[in-house]
Amino acid sequence: MLFCLKCKGLLIPNKDDPKKVMCASCGYKPRQKKNLSVKEKVDIDSRLEVVDKTIETLPLTEAECPKCTYVKAFYWTAQTRSSDEAETRFFRCQKCRHQWRQYD
Ligand SMILES: [Zn+2]
Ligand SMILES: [Zn+2]
């Protein structure tokens, strides 16, 4: 339960914007920057998790893992920085999940 910083009244959901709260007695609307940044962080974390799951569906190739020397790895390519730069190939060891990149 949250209370107003000004009059200690009860904070209720803002009718105009349900994501925000306002004071039931004086109408004071506290800033909620903190809550927003927490939400953003959660979004980033869930995006990373999606990438992690997608990796399992990537094609396998013969590439030697620099960490455990296993010879099979998932691979995908990504354009880094500017578009005139060569594509970067990413590998992820099927065995130890070590990830590395290779430039052409
Ligand atoms: Zn108040
Ligand atoms: Zn490995």
Question: Tell me: the pLDDT tens digits for 10-34?
Answer: 999 887 887 888 898 998 888 765 5
Averaged pLDDT, 35-56: 59
> Is pLDDT at 91 greater than 60 in this prediction?
yes
Q: How far is ligand 1, taken at its centre, from the CA of residue 87, in Å?
A: 57
Contacts 24+ apart (CB under 8 A), 70-75: 70/94, 70/95, 70/96
Enter the pTM of the model.
0.45
Report CA(63)–ligand 2 centroid distance (Å). Answer: 10
Q: 31-103: which CATH number, 2.40.30.10, 2.30.130.10, 2.20.25.10, 3.40.50.300? A: 2.20.25.10
Sketch the domain layout of the chain as residue ranges.
31-103
Instruction: Report CA(30)–ligand 1 centroid distance (Å).
Output: 10
How many angstroms is it from 75 CA to the middle of ligand 2? Answer: 13
